[in-house]
Chain A
Amino acid sequence: MDIKIPMAGSIVKINVKKGDIIHKKDTIMVVESMKLEMPVDSPADGKITEIVVSEGDFVEENQVVAKLE
């Protein structure tokens, strides 16, 4: 499952790493745009199989930032 970012901005914090088991609604990372910080929460329970961004990266709306299995 692809985890997408809801708005363009910069990644200020990543809370998980590859292989982590996470639960639905756990905050995976935090994106900041125009002074607004927004948590990116997991849509389901599962295991993080890939993280495709780093802290400080700029991301576009709907860009895939991590993969969940």
Chain B
Amino acid sequence: MELSSDETEMFKKVLIANRGEIAIRVIRACKELGLNTVAIYSESDKNSPHAKMADNAVKVGPSPVTLSYLNIDAIISAARETNADAIHPGYGFLAENSTFIKRVEEENLIFIGPPVDVVEKMGDKVLSRKIAVEANVPVVPGSNPFSDYKNAEKEAEKVGYPVLLKSVKGGGGIGAQVIDNKSELERAVERTMKVSERFFGSNLIYLEKYIKKAHHVEVQIAADKMGNIAHLFERECSVQRRYQKIIEEAPSPYILPVTREKIINAAVSIAKTANYESAGTIEFLVDKEQNFYFLEMNTRIQVEHPVTEMICGIDLVREQINIAMGKPLSFLNESIKPLGHAIECRIYAEDPKKGFLPNKGKINRYEYPSGPGVRVDSGIEEGMDISVYYDPLLLKVIAWDRDRTSAIVRMIRALDELKIEGLKTNITFAKALLGTEDFLNSNVHVQYVEENLQNILQGDFI
């Protein structure tokens, strides 16, 4: 039995231009909708679970990402070869790459995501800030883009130290650097420009005022082609290292109800101003006084989407697919009331004791948790080699319960059941962090892990 698949569907076969857990997540949504699936894989992923799970699998190139998962020509050929008529990009890789989206459209394939002009304006850190201002939403004080030290110096003086340097085209915290004073600026500007050039093909960078002890709160948006724009409440993702998230939860335990209302309205207002379509996330920083500032928008499905799905009872990937087919949001006539609390732990192949350095190796043993209120979105299996080529995310454990404390207890129980041998992971670290007073009391801000690493590592769980 399937949920749709009548003769009038706009597309019947979806190529998933990604790997690992998110490729599997999308394949599952397609199967439930009665859609055929095509996986792509690189040389080192030929035995990966995502490639085995799809109806078809096409090798797109050797292991390095530029030759495989970022290889637009090879991906389009794979779609042609298998008669796929739509492409889901997942997150990362080509999900926010306008050249790719344009190419997909030129080839008369359907891109499961926002229209290219929306991706271009919201993916551009400077343009998206302008849209937030237009929508009357406060933004973190920031600069115009630049690609030289002289302008960096001027802009940093204007904004005031400490500042955060970022790539205009970037994401995922890649290249981001905090600068406390002028003496560190020149070297940092040079480095951020180089990283930006290498990862995002542009050396344009900018800087923002660095807000200390801020919490990261983001709002999930879903919008259809008819102009219906809805929110699915917020997530808090303040547990981070290297500007990348480790633990996320919904709802945010930090913001007050009045802040929640304001931040959700602000997000909807930005989405409307941007003529947003598909699923997307608007990220904010919330300071000690509960002031909030627009940070950026992600025009794709996010890693942490499951916590929203758990409390709202909505399948976000299914919504994305239905929106791409021209259908209205499935929950338009209901008022969504979030139920309970959900937490996600990202399990990475990395060594928290060595500054979270990524760790390759073979997975010799893999046992994953289950039982009441536990969901596992995994991209691995026993015997699999974890290579140096890709992101170290192995799987995500999501725990749901009626209230936050119960959800934390459930997550720790689930992580106790999770066994991975053969390489170092952050499982023990995640458990230790969940057990801290500060996490229980929602005192964890975005710099917390860096500032308290030793204390967490010495906690009772280690």
Contact = CB atoms under 8 A, between A and B. Distances in A.
Contacts of A52: none
Contacts of A58: 388
Contacts of B384: none
A6 B388 CA distance: 13
18 contacts: A6-B357, A7-B357, A7-B358, A8-B388, A9-B388, A12-B198, A33-B357, A33-B360, A34-B358, A34-B360, A34-B390, A34-B391, A34-B392, A35-B390, A35-B391, A35-B392, A36-B357, A58-B388
A35 B270 CA distance: 30
A9 to B, nearest CB: 5
Interface residues of A, number: 13
A58 B64 CA distance: 12
Nearest to B191: A39
Given A6-B357, A7-B357, A34 B349 contact: yes
Given A6-B357, A35-B174, 18 more contacts: A6-B354, A7-B358, A8-B360, A8-B388, A10-B388, A33-B357, A33-B358, A33-B360, A34-B388, A34-B389, A34-B391, A34-B392, A35-B172, A35-B391, A36-B242, A36-B357, A36-B358, A58-B388
Nearest to A60: B360
B296 to A, nearest CB: 18
B240 interface: no
Contacts of B354: 6
Interface string A16-49: 0000000000000000011111100000000000
Nearest to A31: B388
B97 interface: no
B359 interface: yes
The 4 A-B residue pairs with the shortest CB-CB distance in the complex, in nearest-first order? A34-B358, A34-B392, A33-B388, A7-B357
A35 B358 CA distance: 9
Interface of A: 6-10, 12, 33-38, 58
A7 B358 CA distance: 7
Nearest to A9: B388
B219 interface: no
Contacts of A9: 358, 388
Interface in B224-254: 242
A20 B358 CA distance: 30
Contacts of A38: 357
Contacts of A33: 357-358, 360, 388
Contacts of A34: 349, 358, 360, 388-392
A39 to B, nearest CB: 9
Nearest to B172: A35
B195 A7 contact: no
Contacts of A36: 242, 357-358
Nearest to B361: A8
**Best-surrounded residue of A10, A35, A37 (most CB of chain B within 10 A):** A35
Interface string B364-390: 000000000000000000000000111
Contacts of B242: 36
A33 B386 CA distance: 11
Nearest to A34: B358
Contact of A37 (B195, B349, B360, B389): B195
A37 B358 CA distance: 10
Contacts of B360: 8, 33-34
Nearest to B357: A7
A19 to B, nearest CB: 24
Contact of B359 (A7, A10, A35, A37): A7
A36 B406 CA distance: 35
Contacts of A12: 198
B170 to A, nearest CB: 12
**Best-surrounded residue of A12, A34, A38 (most CB of chain B within 10 A):** A34
Contacts of B349: 34
B206 to A, nearest CB: 20
A35 B198 CA distance: 11
A6 B390 CA distance: 18
Interface string B169-184: 0001010000000000
A64 B304 CA distance: 38
Nearest to A12: B198
Interface string B105-132: 0000000000000000000000000000
A34 to B, nearest CB: 4
Contacts of B358: 7, 9, 33-34, 36
B43 to A, nearest CB: 14
Nearest to A56: B64
Interface string B181-219: 000000000000001001000000000000000000000
